[in-house]
Structure 1
């Protein structure tokens, strides 16, 4: 009965999303205040019913109702309760329902926290988000119904959740990623509302900017968690594989990063208005493209959900409508607002424009490498594979130029291009960065590697130039502490995000140059030497039993220069409901400057096992960089200017202008 109620609630959610898509926009066109004001209550109702549907499906998982198709396919009576929650989004239908839930929550948040926006703007924004919801409600109900049942042949037990997903990281990674993905729909809705209203001034950028920052923050956290999960769970020891589905989340992040910077220019200087609108359209369009790649079956990946052509065609059609319709509207409306703004070659506007161009070029190169094999296969021109060599060759140079601009940008001024106030300090920062970049890799590895030296140079350049920027900002203050207190949270957020980028660059450069990987055959009692004076002793194997699996656990002792450090216990697991699938659980001795990573392979003789031992310098700095970037975004969101911008919005309308003006 609860499952049927959940299905009915999902249908009602579709009805309210249709009303949300139509009524507020109708009110704007007809000047009907009641219809415009209906957006808020409709957003509440839409969110309420999709939440009831999600709760009903969750109840089916927790109560082991195997009459529901996805419960039988994704759960099992022995599955631990925390993973029954994550099983809800462990398959295609449930993950789509999670997407819908998050979309409705975003819509509700906009309705609640944007009440002071001009009535017509808010009505347009909510209507656009209602249109998006109609598409995803229809996708869920007509091609991917999460409440589909097979009552004639109910299995006694389920097939169990994919063992790869039975991990704490996968409990929180997909929701974080989806909040970021779907969050760009808000920026998209504000952009469409601005195009429809003709108000493509700084106001829409100020209204959209905090929402975009929140979406970018969650997407950053989601990508970082995904990289961390792949590192320790897949048993390969890698942190990024340029997998097509990984790229699908990276693409909107790159464009979203450009959007954040462009919104800042539009808000503060009134420039880049058309460019910013286009970036908002592209960011959400790439989120939809990622949905198509994951759910269409056009690619094979450990991350992919579905292989149903019907679902793929639905998403492709929806993507065509959203992208084609929004770009057509942009072509009709944006040129009329185009206006040139003069600025110097080394002004902040010029550097931010260069930054955005580089980010878009980076996104296009990743998009090309991701889609090229699919296009060639579809055209019947053969099977092609685009792997890390291509992505590294085109992406690394772009990142190097970006790092140089990141160092210069914070010290520049709006409109003016004078360098007299900071050029000498920047030269000093560059010299210090060069010297430190020669010292760090040599001290750590004892050898010279160009990649490690270049990564260290970029890291120290961003750090030193950020210090120059802070010094320049507080130079006229009565004391250093007074000057630091005057700096805004958004400025500190920018510096922290840039420092996070620097940490990630250093981590990638160091692990690429100094990592040590050894695949060995080890017998009980044998010792194996590794890089940096580490030594591993194989102490034996023991049987283990978990809630829904059995396996073997290896016992290893780790030594450094002959001194015992700790025991490590990698595992091989065979899950009861998926006996053919064996999982490798790596054992990791984590540290700030290195990880010791041991993965247990297969038995290769009496008392002998295949063992993989990795030493990974600075690998944690990659995820530290992601965390710092997310914290920088959080600081920027906390800036009081954004908290109060909505309260000023109605008063910023030109005198005599009606809220219902079309």
Structure 2
């Protein structure tokens, strides 16, 4: 019954999306203007129905209703409740239902709160959002029904991929989807502005909070996903340039450029065409990522290996949405002027340079991700990995970071380097000193050396916009910019340190033996069997000591065996200090050599100096975005309240 309720809600939501599209389109005409009044209420109800459908899916997963095919394939009665619930979106159909739910709620929220845009642009925006939603509703209902029944009902379910039975899964995908769908709203804003030819500061100010919100969620999602892969996969790395990782990075790069472009358009009425195009590109990257993950053409721990016919459906949606948007942009490009002019040496100029660099990095990542797929389709096997991505991205990332030091100090419209040069003396000296210091240490590759040197200077330069300000009265968006840029410096320092100074050791040790990894002494104390709700494991107890006089601490890495579905996984153990992280993975029992009586166990150990700064920096970047968003929203609320007060006074005086 609950499954049927969810399916009915999904069909009704799809019907309302069609009604929203038609009403919005007709509302733009003189004859159909009366229909425009129905668009906002319809959008709100559609979002509510999508939420109801997703709630029904969560319910059937939480009670392990094995008569629903999706539950039988992706859940198990012995799973902990949190992983039963997370299993609702840990599969293809459920993740797509989460997508349309967030998209429906996003459209409903826009309909409820957005009052700044002209009504015609608002109607076109909501019609565009309905058009996007309708395609995904069709995809779910026609090709990926999450509520399909199964007969006969099995005695037990298959279970969820053990790698996904982690608390990180309950957090990582929803945040990414919130980011992706936020970019769909930005896309709809861009389409609405193109349709009505109303591209200006008001449009940018209305669009910016949604872009900023999407960017925050993408930042948090990528940071959480990186940390999940780091500790869950047991490989000791935080970024592998996996195609599915790239699929989340590309929308973030486009959203970062779009966010800065929105700022220029809102403040200076410039970069109109840039902003529209980046709105289209950002959502295009989300769609490409969706296609890569769900088409079955990738082999990845992150990907859903599904029927390629579904990938064809998504590819068709991609062609319709993005192709249509590009055609519309081409038809209306002549009417979208660039607005106010500015000098190259200005804050706008610095933001344009950064946007060009971000776009170049996006192109590099896109090419490196798609080229092996095209090559394989032509019969050739090509591997594109970190050597390509790191070297090519650095060509544009390094100058971008240099501009990032200078840009926030420049004035709008026109400035001179001489005015800001004095303030950059200390950051420049720190860069030089950092570079020399790393050279003295020796044995550091070029890119980590550059990263360490730049991170020190960028960290100082990011604080300079606060110089001379009353910190208590400094607007939140300024604080947000400072915190986000400082977070980039922190993350860059962590990445470079981890790459430059990590120590790895693979050993086979007996009980009581001590091995050294970096400054740590690691002793294998015991290896004992343990059991969980749906797994058994061999658990090692490691006694570790930092240096000679450090306190002895216990670490408990595990080698787990799941039975639903059958799979072996490694549960790493992490020990964090202020200056780095000790990482331990337990392997299997090593083969005995002739004459050996005591077993040896394989251990893989890493000492990763300052590695936690990677994720601390990511969270600081997201925090900066949140501060900026709160500041923008607070300013909008004050503006609305002031406007209402003025209207009330005028009405009172008129009486």
- Taking structure 1 as the reference length, the TM-score comes to 0.93
Q: 1:466 aligned to 2:462?
A: yes
Match of residue 199 from structure 1: 198
**Number of residues of Structure 1 aligned to a counterpart in Structure 2:** 636
Give the aligned CA root-mean-square deviation in angstroms: 1.9
Correspondent of 2:635 among 632, 638, 641: 641
Give the Å deviation of 1:115.
3.6
Write the deviation string for residues 337-364 of structure 1: whole angstroms up to 9, x where unpaired: 2246432232111111110000000000
Structure 1 SS opposite 2:608: strand
Match of residue 603 from structure 1: 589
Give the Å deviation of 1:30.
2.9
C-alpha distance in structure 2 between counterparts of 1:452 and 1:592, whole Å: 20
Structure 1 SS opposite 2:191: helix
Structure 2 SS opposite 1:421: helix
- Mean Cα deviation higher: 413-422 or 252-261: 413-422
Match of residue 408 from structure 1: 406
Match of residue 355 from structure 1: 354
Structure 2 SS opposite 1:487: coil
Give the Å deviation of 1:422.
2.1
- Mean Cα deviation higher: 558-567 or 16-25: 558-567
C-alpha distance in structure 2 between counterparts of 1:450 and 1:28, whole Å: 57
Structure 2 SS opposite 1:619: coil
In structure 2, runs of 5+ residues without a counterpart are 592-597, 646-655
> Would the aligned equivalents of 2:438 and 2:444 in 1 still touch at CA under 8 Å?
no
Query: Matches of residues 385-424 of structure 1 in structure 2 within 5 Å?
Result: 385-424=383-422
Write the deviation string for residues 377-427 of structure 1: whole angstroms up to 9, x where unpaired: 1223x1111111110111123221111011001110111122343212212
Flag the 1:31–1:412 CA change in 2: closer, same or farther, 3 A. Answer: farther
Structure 2 SS opposite 1:598: strand
C-alpha distance in structure 2 between counterparts of 1:308 and 1:251, whole Å: 24
> Would the aligned equivalents of 2:583 and 2:606 in 1 still touch at CA under 8 Å?
yes
Structure 2 SS opposite 1:430: helix
Give the Å deviation of 1:161.
0.9
Match of residue 296 from structure 2: 297
Write the deviation string for residues 197-216 of structure 1: whole angstroms up to 9, x where unpaired: 11111111111001110000
> Would the aligned equivalents of 2:16 and 2:42 in 1 still touch at CA under 8 Å?
yes
Structure 1 SS opposite 2:603: strand
Correspondent of 1:455 among 451, 454, 473: 451
> Would the aligned equivalents of 1:107 and 1:129 in 2 still touch at CA under 8 Å?
yes
C-alpha distance in structure 1 between counterparts of 2:132 and 2:437, whole Å: 53
Give the Å deviation of 1:81.
0.3
C-alpha distance in structure 2 between counterparts of 1:467 and 1:286, whole Å: 32
Structure 1 SS opposite 2:586: strand
Write the deviation string for residues 468-499 of structure 1: whole angstroms up to 9, x where unpaired: 3322x53xxxxxxxx22332111111111111
Flag the 1:447–1:241 CA change in 2: closer, same or farther, 3 A. Answer: closer
Query: Matches of residues 550-589 of structure 1 in structure 2 within 5 Å?
Result: 550-563=536-549, 564-579=551-566, 581-589=567-575
Give the Å deviation of 1:32.
4.0
Query: Matches of residues 247-326 of structure 1 in structure 2 within 5 Å?
Result: 247-326=246-325
In structure 1, runs of 5+ residues without a counterpart are 475-482, 652-662
C-alpha distance in structure 1 between counterparts of 2:116 and 2:258, whole Å: 24
C-alpha distance in structure 1 between counterparts of 2:124 and 2:643, whole Å: 15
Q: 1:506 aligned to 2:493?
A: yes
Query: Matches of residues 110-509 of structure 1 in structure 2 within 5 Å?
Result: 110-151=110-151, 153-339=152-338, 341-380=340-379, 382-439=380-437, 450-471=446-467, 473-474=468-469, 483-509=470-496
Structure 1 SS opposite 2:582: strand
> Would the aligned equivalents of 1:99 and 1:182 in 2 still touch at CA under 8 Å?
yes
- Taking structure 2 as the reference length, the TM-score comes to 0.94
- Mean Cα deviation higher: 393-402 or 508-517: 393-402
C-alpha distance in structure 1 between counterparts of 2:43 and 2:339, whole Å: 39
Q: 1:620 aligned to 2:612?
A: yes
Flag the 1:10–1:40 CA change in 2: closer, same or farther, 3 A. Answer: same
